[in-house]
Every structure is written in structure tokens, then in C-alpha cells.
């Protein structure tokens, strides 16, 4: 088994509960005080026949390097990436949303984006295989286990992926602060959509903006026109949630 | 001068342009290829009489530790915290918003929150002096220089700060996912408000929720009810921006 490490109580509880990852073993600090979450991890591990061991804190520090492991680390199978066509097939017949990241580089940002996507009911996240960050231990931790509740799609070409989504009846929304329209002027409630977000410094590629059906900006109240990409993604996604919840409520 | 280091091109350009920090010197990698932003840093430094030096990349790596410095580091005076009463006095006579963080611990989160605050026209950010993170180099970098465009208020007691804000005609909004009302049902356009956000794991203190005039949640489309705190803050703040922009337009 090609193993990954994940760390942090919430990330490990989520992965245990989601049940789609193969656990090798769980390492728990033999000096940390136990608490409700550690007890929950032990119980879940027992019920699933997963080995857990008590080890010195130095061992955990070494595995997690500089990251805060909260006294628990799990060695598990890596996240499974899926194909775009498989994803599209699995999610036909309902309004589906995906987020496309055009080369996001920071693990904390990717983790936070995945978390917001799951909360907002987004079904998939598309990452380029050769630019930007993929799912690593920091992403797992900062996603608080959300990586186990969404399809992660790795593609060689974002352009091709977007063309494929368009063929399959997805509306493509590109977010870029040089665009004219405001993100909240779109009606998100009755369509499949793919929200395309750019990288931290470079923003979104011009070729992708050209392909978009909607080109939107997030208006600001000052001239400091620079949102963190995970915050910008959350703002747009939760406008779609707001519209959907309001519509249901009637 | 008690010095801080900041790193990253945008953070340094922002600090140079904002002009409210005293620069000791700027260190630029002698091996990185120059670009538009490095040239801009050199020009700004020259025009302000600030020394810049070319040094080996190892020196920069050592100062920035594990963080990505992008070939440039500046040694500058630390961020100046201001008093709550001074802040309130400086911002009377207009609708003012502040964000109160009840013990946010992660530097990346604080940096992203400060950035969103500045974009959303928030005038101040209140941090507890003894819990959670204060402004450090990682916060400066992840804020992309936004720390220089907002008042950072450090208080001994968040409870006292909130009581003071209430006396001074601020409406207090507490965000917690156990609350009933949706954040978008508040009219943010015609009041001073203080948005109170909880820490990453502990959430918001019960004593603070009790003091709030509005208690709101962010509705989700799934049961994975766990947003990153910087994303949650951005979602609420940009609903206030949406309402303000729409009102002006309408």
C-alpha cells in the first residue's frame, strides 16, 4: 500500500467515518491527555479492526514535521483521484456543481477550498495534474477531512476539462476581478455549473476566461482589491447556497 | 527599533506604499531573476531612501525559515496596535464595522481574515492579547500587506471590548452554527456593526453569544457543517458588501 499520513483529530475522525480510505494504523501520543475526540478515534478504530498504537510525541512530531498533529497521526491509503468522465456520469440527472482550480499553489488554500465546497454541496473539484498543489497531508488536515466527501478529479488539461463540461451541459463561471458583472447577479439555482478560480498570484488564464459563459468579479468596498483565493471561492459558493436556500424557503 | 521581518513581494510593496511602517532595510536575493515587482520594490525603496542589499538565497531562507519569501525580505518596525477607545474615536460619524476574533489560532487564517476585512471596508480587527495569534511574519505575508490598511486593536478582555462597542452604538453579530437565524437576513447597510467570530476548534464563547444582538449561522447544503473560520468570515462580510453595493446601485 502506497501510504499517506494524515494528522489532526478532526481529519482522522472524518476519514474513519467516511470509510473510503484504507487505514494501516493510527498512532496516538502516549503523553497527551485523552479527550472526547481521541476516545472517539479509539472507538471507531476498534469497531473497524484498525490497529492503534501509543508512541512518543517525538515520533509524531517527526512524521508531521512542523504541522500541529494534536497527538494523533494515521497512516492511510492516499486519496483516490477520479476521471472527469466518470464524475460526470456519476452525477447526471441533478443540478451539479464543480469547482475548477487553475493552479492553486498553497496547501492551506486548497484545504480550505475543499472544506467550503463540501459545505456548499459542490460535488467535485478539478485540479491540474502538473501545476499547483495536489492533495497532501497539509491539505488533508486543513480540509478537516472534507477530502473524503467530495470527488477529486485530476486532469492533464484544464482547457479540455472545461470544454468537456460545456458539452455535458455545465455553465462555466470564471471569477476574475477585471470582469464587469457581479457574482451575485447570476442565478445559480437551476443549472449545473463549473466555477473556475485562478492561482494565488497569476489569477486565471486568459484562455479559460474566454471559454466562460459568465465572467464575474467580487465587488469590494476599498481599492485593496486582493482576496485570498479560498475566501473568494467561499464567497461565490455561498451566494449559490443563499439562493438555493432562499428559493426552497420560497 | 524592535524589528520584524516581512517577506513576499506583495506584502513588501503594500507596506512600502502604505507608508506607516519604518523600514530598516530590504534584502533581495542575488540569484533570483528580477521581475516587475522586484523592480517596483527597488524603485519605491530608492524614492523613500531605504537601503536595499543583494544577499545569497541561503540568508533569505534562514530569515524566512520555511516560508516562501519569493526572493525578498524586509526588516521593518512591527505593526502598531491601537486602543479600542482611540479606534472608536477615530471612526465616529460614519457607519463603521469591526471584526472581533475570539481566539483565532492559525496565522494563515488571521492573515486571510485581515485581507478580507480590508477588501470589505472593515475598519478594525479586535484580537485578545493573551489567546490566539497576534500579527507575526506569516500573518503579514498571508495578509498580502493588508495589515497596513486596517486598525489592529489588542484588548485584554473581549467581553469588555464588546460591552464598550455596544455602549458606543455598535450592533454585535455573533456567528455560530448552532444559532437559528441566517446571516443574510440581517440588514447591514445602516449600522455600525461588530462581527464576532470564534476560534478554529472551540468556536465562540457562550458569554459572547449572550452579549450579541444578532446570533447568526451560515446555512449549509450538506451535513458537513464545518467551514474554515476565514472563509466563514469572508462569507458574512461579503454579504454586507453585496447589500451595500446593491443599495447604492438601487
For chain B, give every domain's residue range.
Answer: 4-76, 81-249
Contacts of A158 (CB under 8 A, 6+ apart): A100, A102, A126, A128, A196, A205, A208
Q: Are B79 and B152 in contact (CB under 8 A)?
A: yes
pLDDT in tens, B129-164: 999 999 998 899 899 889 999 999 999 999 999 999
The whole-angstrom separation of Cα A36 and Cα A42 is 10
pLDDT attached to residue A2: 57
Residues of A in contact with B124 (CB under 8 A): none
Region B43-65 average pLDDT: 91
- Topology at the third CATH level for domain A81-249: Alpha/beta knot (3.40.1280)
What's the pLDDT band for B201 if we cut at 50, 70, 90? confident
The whole-angstrom separation of Cα B76 and Cα A118 is 40
- Alpha helix stretches (DSSP H) within chain B: 9-18, 36-47, 57-64, 84-90, 107-119, 137-142, 158-167, 206-211, 229-249
Answer yes or no: same fold for A4-76 and A81-249. no
Determine which of B227, B232, B250 to mutate to test the interface with A (most A C-beta atoms within 10 Å): B227
- C-alpha cell read off for A81: 483521484
Which of A232, A230, A218 is CA-nearest to residue A105? A230
pLDDT tens digit at each of 250 positions of chain A: 457 889 888 889 989 998 888 999 999 999 888 899 999 999 999 999 999 999 998 889 888 876 778 899 999 998 999 999 999 999 987 899 999 999 999 999 999 999 999 999 999 999 999 999 999 988 998 998 899 999 999 999 999 999 999 999 999 999 999 898 999 999 999 999 999 999 988 889 999 999 999 999 999 999 987 899 999 999 999 999 999 999 887 6
Region B72-101 average pLDDT: 93
- C-alpha cell read off for A49: 479492526
Helix, strand, coil percentages for chain A (3-state, nearest 5): 40, 25, 35
Assess whether pLDDT exceeds 50 at residue B1.
no
pLDDT attached to residue A1: 41
pTM for the whole structure: 0.91
pLDDT attached to residue A19: 87
Which of B197, B231, B229, B230 is CA-nearest to residue B216? B197
- C-alpha cell read off for B217: 449561522
Q: How many CB atoms lie within 10 A of CB A112?
A: 30
Inter-chain touch A121–B242, beta carbons under 8 Å = no
pLDDT attached to residue A62: 87
Q: Pick from A182, A184, A234: which is nearest to B231 by CB?
A: A234
Q: Which CATH number applies to A4-76?
A: 3.30.1330.30
pLDDT attached to residue A48: 93
Residues of B in contact with A232 (CB under 8 A): 234
Paired sense of beta strands A72-76 and A23-29, if any:
antiparallel
What's the pLDDT band for B2 if we cut at 50, 70, 90? low
Tell me which chain A residue has its CA closest to the CA of residue B121.
A221
- Alpha helix stretches (DSSP H) within B120-228: 137-142, 158-167, 206-211
* Percentage of residues in chain B having pLDDT higher than 70: 98
Long-range contacts, B59-64 (Cβ 8 Å, 24+): B59/B27, B60/B7, B60/B27, B60/B29, B63/B5, B63/B7, B63/B27, B64/B5, B64/B7, B64/B137
Tell me which chain B residue has its CA closest to the CA of residue A150.
B224
In DSSP terms, B215 is beta-bridged to: B174
Residues of A in contact with B235 (CB under 8 A): 234-235, 238
pLDDT attached to residue B40: 95
pLDDT attached to residue A13: 92
Inter-chain touch B119–A226, beta carbons under 8 Å = yes
Residues of B in contact with A230 (CB under 8 A): 112, 228, 230-231
Amino acid at each position: 500500500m502506497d501510504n499517506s499520513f494524515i494528522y489532526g483529530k478532526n481529519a482522522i475522525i472524518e476519514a474513519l467515518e467516511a470509510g473510503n480510505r484504507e487505514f494501516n494504523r493510527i498512532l496516538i501520543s502516549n503523553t497527551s491527555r485523552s479527550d472526547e475526540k481521541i476516545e472517539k478515534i479509539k472507538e471507531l478504530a476498534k469497531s473497524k479492526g484498525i490497529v492503534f498504537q501509543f508512541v512518543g510525541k517525538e515520533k509524531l512530531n517527526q512524521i508531521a514535521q512542523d504541522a500541529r498533529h494534536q497527538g494523533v497521526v494515521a497512516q492511510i491509503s492516499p486519496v483516490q483521484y477520479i476521471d472527469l468522465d466518470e464524475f460526470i456520469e456519476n452525477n447526471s440527472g441533478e443540478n451539479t456543481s464543480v469547482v475548477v482550480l487553475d493552479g492553486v499553489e498553497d496547501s492551506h488554500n486548497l484545504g480550505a477550498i475543499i472544506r467550503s465546497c463540501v459545505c456548499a454541496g459542490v460535488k467535485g473539484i478539478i485540479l491540474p495534474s502538473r501545476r499547483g498543489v495536489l492533495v497532501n497531508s497539509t491539505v488533508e488536515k486543513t480540509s478537516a477531512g472534507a477530502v473524503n466527501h467530495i470527488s477529486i478529479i485530476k486532469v492533464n488539461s484544464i482547457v479540455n476539462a472545461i470544454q468537456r463540461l460545456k458539452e455535458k451541459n455545465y455553465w462555466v463561471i470564471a471569477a476574475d476581478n477585471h470582469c464587469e458583472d457581479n457574482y451575485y447577479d447570476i442565478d445559480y439555482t437551476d443549472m449545473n455549473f463549473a466555477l473556475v478560480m485562478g492561482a494565488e498570484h497569476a489569477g486565471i488564464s486568459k484562455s479559460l476566461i474566454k471559454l466562460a459563459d459568465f465572467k464575474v468579479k467580487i465587488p469590494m468596498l476599498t481599492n485593496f482589491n486582493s482576496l485570498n483565493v479560498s475566501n473568494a471561492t467561499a464567497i461565490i459558493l455561498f451566494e449559490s447556497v443563499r439562493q438555493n436556500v432562499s428559493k426552497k424557503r420560497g
